[in-house]
Amino acid sequence: MKNIIKSKLESGETVIGSIVSVNSPDIVEVLALAGFDFIFIDNEHGPLNIETTANLIRAAEARACTPIVRVPENDPIIILKTLDIGAFGIHVPQINSREDATEMVKAAKYYPLGERGTAFPRSSGYGLYARDKNIKETNSETLLIPHIENIKGVENLKEILATTGLDIVFIGPYDLSQSLGIPGQLTHPLLEEKITYSLAMIKAAGLIAGIFASSVEDAQQRIKQGFRYILYSMDTIMLSKIARSELSQLKK
């Protein structure tokens, strides 16, 4: 398993992905062919489940786009199943303490870094890959991406960042704004202060900072600030924006 976005990030590049929220391998292929570096298959919000996600992962791989999955919660069984079907990385919501981060790493990494269970799933080539090599490679190539999206996570960021095994630390601006009492106010100075503080801490710890961006201007601004893992918009949002704008031009 070669994780293309991990190599890109290691060579200093910025990577851009988008959220896939519907069960359509075709949409995954379209986004991959359009040039997104990764897709973020959302198993927290929306209808996708472990079986639909497996086929979306296959579609991404067929088009050399890195499949990353957001799991619904920091649960070792869910993390195990998600990695077993072949996710190249996981986002885990609401990582608010060192303990949360440690649990996440323990569930996602094989011995000696963690306690991920071993068997013969898709990620092991159904048992056909050389076992020791696969375990080592999977431990180093799988991206672990905690969500800092609650003020508790920001307050405990120093301890979270000291957890071995994290690659990218992702700021969730929507949930963070809610926990600050300013839900959805994405340009509020208090939110920006917490984002800027977190970005500086993540970079100082030598990790990659990631964030969600809802518009091109927003994404450009985040890249300028130093975020190198950009989650840009979402399948249904991009489609609805284009549909509405083209239709309104057509009806003029």
Member of 37, 100, 149, 235 binding Mg ion (CB under 5 A): 149
Q: What is the dihedral of CA 219, 181, 188, 145, to 10 degrees?
A: -20
174 binds ligand 3PY (CB under 6 A): yes
175 binds ligand 3PY (CB under 6 A): yes
- Name the residue nearer to Mg ion (CB basis): 127 or 181: 181
* Chain residue at closest Cβ approach to ligand 3PY: 172
218 binds ligand 3PY (CB under 6 A): no
Q: How far is CA 122 from the centre of its chain?
A: 20
149 binds ligand 3PY (CB under 6 A): yes
| 91 among known catalytic residues | no
CA neighbor of 165 nearest in space, from 222, 230, 227, 92: 92
Minimum distance of ligand 3PY from residue 51's CB (angstroms): 23
Q: Specify whether the CB–CB gap between 39 and 17 falls below 8 A.
A: yes
DSSP bridge partners of 143: 89
Minimum distance of ligand 3PY from residue 97's CB (angstroms): 17
Alpha-carbon span 218 to 224, nearest angstrom: 10
Residue 232 binds: one of Mg ion, ligand 3PY, none (C-beta under 5 to 8 A by kind): none
Measured between its terminal Cα atoms, the distance across the chain in Å is 51
Catalytic residue among 45, 91, 147, 188: 45
Member of 123, 173, 201, 233 binding ligand 3PY (CB under 6 A): 173
Report the b/e string of 42-58 with b at 16+ CB within 10 A.
bbeebebeeebbbebbe
The site string for Mg ion over 172-191 (x = CB under 5 A, - otherwise) reads x--x----------------
Q: Which residue stretch of 8-16, 111-119, 156-164, 168-176 sits at the interface with ligand 3PY (rule: CB under 6 A)?
A: 168-176
- CB neighbour list of residue 181: distance below 8 Å, 6 or more residues apart: none
172 binds ligand 3PY (CB under 6 A): yes
Enter the tokens of residue 181: 């009492």
Residue 173 binds: one of Mg ion, ligand 3PY, none (C-beta under 5 to 8 A by kind): ligand 3PY
In 10 A of CB 249, how many CB atoms? 8
Active site residues: 45
Residues in the site for Mg ion, rule: CB under 5 A?
149, 172, 175
